[in-house]
Each structure stands twice: as structure tokens, then as C-alpha cells.
Copies of this chain bind each other. A is one copy, B any other.
Amino acid sequence: MSPTKMAIREKAFKIIRGIFKKHGASEIDTPVFELKETLTSKYGEDSKLIYDLKDQGGELLSLRYDLTVPFARYVAQRGLSSIKRFHIAKVYRRDTPQMNKGRFREFYQCDFDIAGDYSVMLPDADLLAVIIDILSSIGVGNFIVKLNHRKFLDAMISLAGCEKRKFKAICSSIDKLDKESWEDVRDELINMKGLTTEMCDKLEKFVQYKGAPWDMLNRLKSEQVFVGHEEGEKTIKEMETLFTYLEAMNVLDKISFDFSLARGLDYYTGVIYEAVLTDTDRVGSISGGGRYDGLIGMFSGKNIPSVGGSIGIERIFNILEEKAKKEGSVRATETQILVTSMGKNLAPKRMEACAALWKEGFKAETLYVENPRTDKTFSYAFDNGIPLILIIGEDEIKNGMYKLKSLNEKKEYEFKVEDLIP
């Protein structure tokens, strides 16, 4: 990872960390390796992508595959009853890297989760506010957050007359609707998943509910979609509560209520969401998450309701890097002043000046050359985007005056030694 890429990352992490903290989250860290058994049977088919450590004696270990399972293990092991935490760290997958799409074998995840037994939709609303605040602040362009609820999907599938055991299979087809036409998905549902045309006709009506939150909710009510279906009616009430909260926090305009959102459902028990960029269809999801009330209980036997989301930070890095490349404005370092000298053997004087600047909090450096050449000094400043050059010469020392050249303004200032600190 090159210094300019790191500089972009650090800037993004700073924004993200700041927003997590603004919402009162604490930060935790877990080891890069977990016991192999902790990860076993948590990821379905993707388990083959887990990196195992060699058996060199001791416990059998694997590199973490995501940050959610280690979080659940952490909460269960420490017997916590509630925590609002974030975690920014790398995860590992034995995947074929696709650099241009932001997929690597080692990559960062930024996760935010709220575990604890709380009032309906309060943590869920906060999670969505955090995600929206981050995506708005980080400069990736326009986006929307697609929102759905696991219970709506359950209700939809039962009201369409489908068998419960086909839930996963049906969802995985429906979830393709952001890329494929209804006709293709319908063919798949009939030919591959064994649904009847009648079932499909009913499902088709459901997946068309997609749009502004209150509008959709009002349509669901006026069209009496869930009347008589207890879970469906209850979930409508829950969504009303959620939308009220999101409106209070002024983020509801980023939400699209979307019945066709049916993402990776193994954990999820409530709200599910996925954020997508709206100016490009090249990137896919840049954040996803939802409520998973059962996961922590898999480790401790004691369920702790939880909701959380993950920022697809590598994809965001890619966008930020491309943007920076276009603007041509990324610096690998933050040096403000390059200290140089004209005349022989002034290295100690340059160091004195640097030390004085450092003491006042300025970022300053000097070339590691006893007698730096003027052209090399200027090209170093230019190449590294350093805006100011402080020049120390024999005359300057005699007169007690320093020269400060500004490269951007092409100006020169003179000032006294004792006023070195501007």
C-alpha cells in the first residue's frame, strides 16, 4: 500500500471514526485469528474461503473472515449485556482478487453494532443515521439506502402461498432484481425453485413496493396488503416508528423502502438495509447490515438482540482514489515547511530551525544532505507538495533574518530569528 493510498485511507478512517464516536460508540479490537471452531458453520458455502493457520502445535486457528462473528464471540465470551461498538480492521478471504472492483484477499471492514435489549427501532434508527452520516461525509457521491424487514419477506412468502422451507431459495432469486428483469427472476422461480405461476403473480405484486418510505407504507395500508396477517401488521407499526425516528434525525430522504431487497439472510431477523450509489451502477453495495437477534446466543446460549452494519470501505477507497487521481491533489506527507540553507556547513542551523518549528507543532523537514543544492530543494518541495521553504544563509544568520518562500503564492517573506514562529 503506497503512501498516497495510505493518506487517502487515513483521511477516510478519520471521518468514519469521528462519526462513530459522535454517536457515542466505543472501539474494540479482536485478534486476527479466531479458534477454527468459532468460524465453523457460520458462513455456509463461503466457508471454503477461510484461511487456516498451519497446525504447528497448540490450538487450531483461522484468520477472521468478517468482524461480525468475532464481535458476537467477544460479547458472548465477556458476558456483556449491552455494547455499542465500532471496529475497523482487516479481514481475510481466500478469494481471487479483483482489484478494479475493490476485492482483495486482505481488506478492511468498518463495522458498527449495537447489542442490547432496547426499545423497538431505537438502535436501528441510530445505526441508519450513522451509516447515512458517514456516506454523506466521505464524498462518494449520491446514494440511497434500500430498506426492508425480514418479517415482510416472511409474510410475503407465506401470503404468496409458498412453502416456508423455500424461503432462502426464493429470497436469493428476488435479491437479483437490482440486476435482472422480473421475467428472468420469474423463470428462475418457476423452473429452478419449483414455484407455480400463481405464486409468482402474487410475489410480483409484492416486489413492486419500492419508493419513498411514507408513500409505500400508506400504500401497504390502503391496499390492505397485510390485513389479517398478524406479523405483517405488527411490522408495519414497527416501520412507522422507524420512519418517525429517521425523520426526526432528518435522514429519511436517503431511504428507499424496497420489498425486493432480500440480501444474505442467514443472520437477519428484523430490519435489513443496503446502501448503493445512484450515479454509477459499477460499484454495487457500499454498506449493508441489519438486525440479527440470534447470533450472540449461538456462542453463549443467551440471546442478545443486536443490529449492525458494515461499510464496504475498500470500494469507497477505490472511488476516493479515482477522484483524487482526477483532481491530482493527494499528498503522501503533510510537511508544511522545508528548511534549507545556502552556504557551507549549515546543517546544524537547519536542524535548530526544524526543532523550533516542531516544538510549535509545525510539520517541517530538511533534506538529508549536508549542503543541499537549490534546484534539488525546490524540486523536493514541488514533488511533495510542500508549500513553504525556509531559507537560512550566512547573510541571514548575520542579519538575524530568515527568508520564507511561499511556492503557491510565489512570494517571499523576511522575518527575524526570534520571530521564527509565525
A-to-B contact residues, CB < 8 Å: 1-3, 6-7, 9-10, 21-33, 51-56, 58, 63, 83, 85, 90, 92, 94, 106, 114, 116, 118-120, 122-123, 125-126, 129, 133, 244-245, 247-251, 332-335, 347-349, 351-352, 354-355, 358, 361-365, 368-370, 384
**Complex: A6 Cα to B74 Cα, angstroms:** 14
The 10 closest A-B pairs by CB, nearest first: A24-B365, A3-B26, A118-B368, A1-B29, A248-B348, A122-B368, A248-B351, A26-B332, A52-B54, A249-B355
**Complex: A1 Cα to B358 Cα, angstroms:** 33
Are A368 and B119 in contact (CB-based, < 8 A)? yes
Are A351 and B24 in contact (CB-based, < 8 A)? no
**Complex: A362 Cα to B21 Cα, angstroms:** 10
Q: Which residues of B contact A22 (CB under 8 A)?
A: 358, 361-364
A205 to B: closest C-beta gap in Å: 32
Q: Which residue from chain B places its CB closest to the CB of A6 in the assembled complex?
A: B27
Are B369 and A122 in contact (CB-based, < 8 A)? yes
**Complex: A133 Cα to B53 Cα, angstroms:** 39
- A27 contacts which of B3, B24, B28, B248 (Cβ < 8 Å)? B3
Q: Which residue from chain B places its CB closest to the CB of A83 in the assembled complex?
A: B3
Q: How many copies of the shown chain assemble into the complex?
A: 2
A245 to B: closest C-beta gap in Å: 6
Given A1-B28, A22-B358, A24-B365, output 10 extra A-B contacts at Cβ < 8 Å. A2-B28, A7-B27, A22-B364, A24-B384, A53-B63, A122-B347, A245-B351, A248-B348, A248-B352, A249-B355
**Complex: A92 Cα to B61 Cα, angstroms:** 13
Q: Which residues of B contact A9 (CB under 8 A)?
A: 29
- A7 contacts which of B24, B26, B106, B244 (Cβ < 8 Å)? B26
Q: Which residues of B contact A361 (CB under 8 A)?
A: 22
**Complex: A23 Cα to B357 Cα, angstroms:** 10
Given contacts A28-B6, A32-B32, A352 and B249 within 8 Å (CB-CB): yes
Are B56 and A126 in contact (CB-based, < 8 A)? no
- A54 contacts which of B53, B348, B384 (Cβ < 8 Å)? B53
Q: Which residues of B contact A106 (CB under 8 A)?
A: 31-33
A237 to B: closest C-beta gap in Å: 13
A9 to B: closest C-beta gap in Å: 8
A-B contact pairs, 28 of them (CB 8 A): A1-B28, A1-B30, A2-B28, A3-B27, A3-B85, A6-B27, A7-B26, A10-B27, A21-B334, A22-B361, A22-B363, A22-B364, A24-B335, A24-B365, A25-B333, A26-B332, A32-B90, A32-B106, A51-B53, A56-B94, A58-B94, A114-B368, A122-B369, A123-B368, A129-B358, A133-B358, A248-B348, A248-B349
